[in-house]
Amino acid sequence: MLATIVIFISAFLLFQVQPLLAKSLLPVFGGGAQVWTTCLLFFQTFLLAGYCYAHLLVKFLDIKKQQIVHLSLLLISLLALPLGLSDSDIKEQASPEFALLLKLALSVGLPYFVLAATSPLLQSWQSQSLNSKVYKLYSYSNIGSFLALLSYPFVFEPWLTLSAQSWAWSLVYGVFVLLFAGFIGLALKQNNYTQAVQSDEIATSLDKRLPLWLLLSACGVIILTATTSAMTQNVSPIPFLWLLPLSLYLLTFILCFHSAKVYQRWFWLAVFAFSSFIGLMLFFIGSQLDLLSQIVLYSTVLFSACMICHGELEKTKPHQSKLTQFYLMMSLGGALGTAAITFIAPEIFTLFYEYPLALGLVLALFIYSLISTEQFAKNRNMVLVAGGVLVLLAPTFIWLNSQFTNHDTLRLRNFYGLLSVKEVSINGQMERRLIDGTTSHGTEIIEPTYLQGQPQSYYRFETAVAQLLNSQFNGAQVGFIGLGAGTLAAYGKHRDNYTFYELNPNVVATAQSHFSYLNNSKAQVEYVVGDGRVQLQKQKEQGQANRFDALVLDAFSGDAIPMHLLTLEAMQLYLSQLKENGVLAIHISNSHLDLTPLMRGLADELKLKVHFFETKAKQAHEHNTHWVTLTFDEQAIASFKHLQSPWPNQKPTFIWRDDYSNLLSAL
């Protein structure tokens, strides 16, 4: 019983710390979905290290020495408490992926490592002390992980600040170490372990199913991370949307390893065969669906895919004597799958092609698993059906992809996301659009040529931001957090100075090479590459303050909101960079989130005058745009204040802080 409790708590802590640290890191690395993917790589890699360490202990030491070594390491890990991000400086020239991984390793590396090793070690010991089904302990471990993920967005995040969460985690970790020490003490006192009776050849030989275990576990993680990226490219990478896919992933482990009856091959093959075509459609047109529909459909595809991957793992699991070898291969597959998504996919794919490829890989591995078993004759029909679905998926994908990319003139991908330039004909006019994820971040008419250079889309002449920039005196100093296609540079006048802060270097290069707004601007245009808030803070520390007549915040990737740009502390920083009568303009147009209560809440807290401006679309291809202005001096917006709109609702206000934010409040 005590072993089950220790395994449960270790798994709970192992997965509770993941969203906590990832959320803490978002402001440092720009708030993109790739932050979570890179965090997953760290967690998978240290899980692999923990499993490898457990396997080596079991292989080379007797049980008593294993317990003493692991308990010693647990006690040493207490020195890393309380939990918190490392304050160590990381060279700015380091890649964001490397910098993020290093910060995690310095902050939680040792505690996470020993937690990862706890479950396989305890299961190995139990297999030699009792005639028990230790694979059920694995399902209990996954239940702990599942509850940790499920509780975070609904229990911990809404009620506790990040610092309170860190202290709570550290306290429970200390309790866990005490419980583990008690377990070791009882075990050493009773000394009732029996050595495994299998021969050395059986216990240490490499199983022929190793490649299958490796590939199935890698495929499960690939479909998990690809689904998470797809779900969060248009909504902030909030813990809820991180943890829902990961929870479903773990749930399939729980179901498959708790009872072999849950995974019925014919049933799950039929479900996934249907789901794979839904997944293919989602890849191309998912952004046109509402948020709830996207979540339900993506979750269905992910769940059925993971049921096949993990169901096949359960059906091919080895004897208990090779338990740590089995877990080692599973964790290695998980680490390799996440590494492929983090490092390889962005280098070779300009879209999230790993998602449709993962759908095909599930079917291919299902066929491989059936063929590699001794009951192939009995499974021949399933092999034919799975092969038929795979054959149909390939041409469907090729045709849809050709339609989707037909208008692309440029596609780029890096750590910060997807970027493409499309040229489309609208009402007889040829438009060039900058697409970030699946959302337009700037449009320019290139034919007829006399319309070239005129601001379009969210920045057209009637919008509040256009009115604000036009109202500025000649020689104004204006800052912009977020560049897009550089459309707002078109409003620059002689002697104006426009400073654009842009996180993604690909955006700067594309705006300069494919759009004319920046090159033709009358203003003096400067660029600062890096997170806008971080760069403004650095400039403030260097003595640059109170210098902008207007500051425009438009740094959203797709419909995703980097929450660290909208906290109380961020607003205070923006105000410190504005002149006394300066204006802060924030673009809050969004398909999924209502940010108006947040804007009113922040204005009330900071004693600012806040106004809401809605510019309705006059043509079918235009957008309704929502801008908010905040200022201490209403005279600064006197020339266009009469264009303000009534607030769309009177929902209760709220504010976000660096130490506390809950995006569910804005959904």
**Residue in the block written with tokens 């709970």:** 12
Question: What is the identity of the amino acid at 336?
Answer: L
User: Partners of 626 in the beta sheet?
Assistant: 614
User: Partners of 527 in the beta sheet?
Assistant: 500
Predicted confidence (pLDDT) at residue 297 exceeds the cutoff of 50 = yes
Q: How far apart are CA 187 and CA 298, in angstroms?
A: 46
Q: What is the dihedral of CA 387, 393, 394, 399, to 10 degrees?
A: 160
Q: Which of 72-86, 436-450, 538-552 has the highest mean pLDDT?
A: 538-552
Q: Is 530 left (phi over 0), alpha (psi -120 to 50) or beta?
A: left
* Tens digits of residue pLDDT in 450-497: 889 999 888 999 999 999 999 999 999 999 999 999 999 999 999 999
Predicted confidence (pLDDT) at residue 27 exceeds the cutoff of 60 = yes
Q: Residue 614 in contact with residue 624, Cβ under 8 Å?
A: yes
Predicted confidence (pLDDT) at residue 197 exceeds the cutoff of 70 = no
* Tens digits of residue pLDDT in 404-431: 888 889 999 887 778 899 998 888 889 9
Predicted confidence (pLDDT) at residue 604 exceeds the cutoff of 60 = yes
Give ∠ CA 649-650-651 in degrees, rounded to 5: 100
User: What pLDDT, on the 0 to 100 scale, is given for residue 93?
Assistant: 47
Domains along the chain with CATH numbers: 1-195 (1.20.1250), 205-406 (1.20.1250), 454-666 (3.40.50.150)
User: What pLDDT, on the 0 to 100 scale, is given for residue 203?
Assistant: 46
Which distant-in-sequence residues (6+ apart) come within 8 Å of 265 by Cβ?
A: 311, 379, 382
- pTM for the complete prediction? 0.78
DSSP single-letter state for residue 557: B
- Which carries the bigger pLDDT value, residue 84 or residue 597? 597
Q: How far apart are CA 199 and CA 427, in angstroms?
A: 78
Predicted confidence (pLDDT) at residue 620 exceeds the cutoff of 70 = no
Predicted confidence (pLDDT) at residue 556 exceeds the cutoff of 80 = no
Q: Residue 522 in contact with residue 497, Cβ under 8 Å?
A: no
DSSP single-letter state for residue 641: G
DSSP string, 16-41: HHHHHHHHHHTTTTTT-HHHHHHHHH
Q: Residue 43 in contact with residue 105, Cβ under 8 Å?
A: no
Q: Which is it for strands 524-529 and 417-426: parallel, antiparallel or unpaired?
A: unpaired
User: What pLDDT, on the 0 to 100 scale, is given for residue 488?
Assistant: 96
User: What pLDDT, on the 0 to 100 scale, is given for residue 106?
Assistant: 86
Which distant-in-sequence residues (6+ apart) come within 8 Å of 488 by Cβ?
A: 455, 459, 465, 469, 480, 498, 517, 552, 554
* Tens digits of residue pLDDT in 199-254: 444 445 566 788 999 999 999 999 998 888 777 765 555 556 677 888 899 899 88
Any idea how long the chain is?
Answer: 667
Q: How far apart are CA 419 and CA 411, in angstroms?
A: 6
Q: How confident is the model at residue 34 (pLDDT cuts 50, 70, 90)?
A: low
Q: How far apart are CA 572 and CA 564, in angstroms?
A: 12
Predicted confidence (pLDDT) at residue 271 exceeds the cutoff of 90 = yes
User: What pLDDT, on the 0 to 100 scale, is given for residue 374?
Assistant: 64
* Tens digits of residue pLDDT in 507-528: 999 999 999 999 999 999 999 9
